């Protein structure tokens, strides 16, 4: 079944919504449950397809996983299998997060390599190299990474790129290795801090998470905990951008504004009024034209690549020209061709796009190619005059909890049509 959204655009958003739990924190936390032989409880889990996919991966490994109203119970006492199959990993790359925990727990793992992706090349070489440095033998057979190790021994790991996934995988494996592991040029994303904090509550010894230099002293064992996932900063950013692009207002609650500092700063510079507390923020973009503003995507705390596509739509509605430079995924511009169908003026050059602001967009049928490009399609539909049909919204169900309910509560005219 392929659902689509029908949106009657041109209505400024207005109202208050609460942020959901962060998908990109929840996924590694679920994998971390494999490090214990007990029952881990995770709260504030968003009801998303990606969470269900990770639950399937854990079940294949032998975990008993239950989801009830934002609360996930993961019983890993009977895990007895160390494989993550292609059928699941190809649906969601974050399945690769089980590599580190499987190696730590079973001293072996067989995890499918993720393969192609709409964002452009997304290799996992840094994950594999790091596991080798910790003592693993790694081979590639039939599209699977196969790891075996007798003894995991702490070491100094320099990441050529501060990869979020590799940093997470290393922290999980090194927590149960012998001796000290250092990650230098580690990722600093809030998801990494959330994972480190949960691992510490489980008994791990980790220092420096959230900085470029993380030190992990291996321990003998970890115990299960109950943990609450941090708010989703990308979901928060998406709705703030949607409200600004529609010349609307929005109050977000249950968020962490210190995780979206770069966005709030840029929003302010486009002329949007921003009023923030630590866990809530209100913006007002009514009765004004937004100023065009250049952005460059960067690792945290810079402007996130995951908000680049929605930001593109907002800049289409600004006065003047702006440039977006993508430094994390140089080919992450699949949204551009779709947006051109609405009357936008965007040209692409290498890893940048140049956007000429226009007065209005006209609704059309457009397709989602990944979660965040999809978010851009929805924002475009909300902005464009007349009706837009947003196709392939299974991408939205992967990453945005209750999207149409949240947007409807803000006054948007959006409905889901099941084909």
Positions that interact with ligand EPZ (CB under 6 A): 24, 27, 93-94, 121-127, 161, 163-166, 187, 191, 305-306, 328-329, 371-372, 399
Q: Single out the residue of 306, 314, 323, 326 nearest to residue 271, CA to CA.
A: 314
Closer CB to ligand EPZ, 225 or 368, in the complex: 368
What whole-number distance in Å separates Cα of residue 205 and Cα of residue 201?
A: 9
**Is 310 in contact with 376 (CB distance < 8 Å)?**
yes
Closer CB to ligand EPZ, 22 or 285, in the complex: 22
Q: Which of 19, 76, 79, 117 is catalytic?
A: 117
Closer CB to ligand EPZ, 187 or 260, in the complex: 187
DSSP string for residues in 225-290: -EEEPPB-HHHHHHHHHHHHHTT-EEEEES--GGGSHHHHHHHHHTT-EEEE-SS-EEEE-TTSPP
Q: Single out the residue of 151, 197, 198, 201 nearest to residue 176, CA to CA.
A: 151
User: Least distance from C-beta 153 to ligand EPZ, angstroms?
Assistant: 21
Structure tokens at 128: 């594999």
User: Least distance from C-beta 200 to ligand EPZ, angstroms?
Assistant: 20
Closer CB to ligand EPZ, 239 or 329, in the complex: 329
Closer CB to ligand EPZ, 245 or 376, in the complex: 376
User: Least distance from C-beta 319 to ligand EPZ, angstroms?
Assistant: 29
Closer CB to ligand EPZ, 249 or 311, in the complex: 311
Q: Single out the residue of 150, 151, 149 nearest to residue 128, CA to CA.
A: 149
Establish whether 117 is a catalytic residue: yes
Q: Single out the residue of 402, 336, 327, 408 nearest to residue 372, CA to CA.
A: 336
- 3-state SS string for 66-97: EEECCEEEEECCCCCCCEECHHHHCCCHHHHH
C-beta neighbour count of 226 within 10 angstroms: 13
User: Least distance from C-beta 367 to ligand EPZ, angstroms?
Assistant: 16
What whole-number distance in Å separates Cα of residue 169 and Cα of residue 102?
A: 10
User: Least distance from C-beta 125 to ligand EPZ, angstroms?
Assistant: 5
User: Least distance from C-beta 230 to ligand EPZ, angstroms?
Assistant: 12
Annotated catalytic sites, by residue?
117
């Amino acid at each position: 079944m392929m659902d689509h959204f029908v949106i009657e655009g041109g209505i400024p958003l207005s109202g208050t919504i609460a942020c959901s739990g962060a998908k990109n924190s929840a996924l590694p936390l679920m994998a971390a449950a494999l490090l214990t032989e007990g029952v881990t409880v995770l709260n504030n889990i968003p009801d998303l397809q990606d969470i269900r996919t990770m639950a399937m991966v854990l079940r294949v490994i032998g975990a008993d996983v239950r989801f009830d109203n934002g609360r996930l119970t993961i019983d890993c006492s009977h895990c007895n299998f160390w494989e993550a199959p292609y059928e699941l990993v190809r649906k969601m790359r974050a399945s690769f997060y089980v590599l580190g925990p499987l190696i730590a727990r079973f001293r072996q793992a067989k995890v499918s390599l993720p393969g192609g992706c709409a964002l452009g090349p997304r290799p996992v070489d840094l994950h594999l190299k790091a596991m080798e440095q910790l003592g693993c033998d790694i081979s590639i057979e039939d599209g699977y990474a196969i790891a075996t190790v007798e003894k995991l021994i702490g070491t100094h790991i320099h990441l050529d790129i501060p990869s979020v996934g590799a940093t997470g995988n290393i922290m999980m494996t090194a927590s149960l290795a012998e001796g000290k592991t250092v990650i230098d040029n580690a990722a600093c994303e809030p998801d990494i801090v959330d994972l480190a904090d949960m691992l510490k509550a489980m008994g791990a010894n980790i220092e420096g998470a959230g900085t470029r230099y993380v030190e992990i002293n291996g321990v003998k064992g970890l115990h299960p905990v109950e943990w609450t996932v941090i708010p989703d900063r990308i979901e928060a950013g998406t709705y703030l951008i949607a409200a600004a692009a529609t010349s609307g207002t929005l109050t977000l609650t249950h968020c962490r504004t210190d995780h979206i500092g770069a966005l709030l700063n840029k929003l302010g510079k486009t002329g949007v009024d921003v009023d923030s507390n630590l866990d809530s923020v209100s913006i007002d973009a009514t009765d004004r034209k937004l100023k065009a503003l250049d952005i460059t995507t960067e690792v945290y705390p810079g402007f996130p690549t995951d908000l680049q596509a929605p930001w593109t739509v907002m800049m289409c509605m600004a006065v003047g020209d702006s440039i977006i430079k993508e430094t994390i995924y140089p080919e992450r511009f699949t949204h551009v061709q779709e947006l051109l169908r609405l009357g936008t003026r965007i040209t692409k050059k290498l890893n940048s796009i140049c956007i000429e602001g226009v007065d209005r967009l006209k609704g059309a049928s457009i397709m989602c190619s990944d979660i965040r490009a999809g978010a851009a399609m929805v924002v475009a539909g909300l902005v464009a005059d007349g009706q837009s049909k947003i196709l392939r919204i299974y991408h939205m169900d992967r990453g945005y909890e209750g999207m149409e309910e949240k947007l409807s509560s803000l006054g948007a005219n959006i409905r889901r049509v099941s084909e």
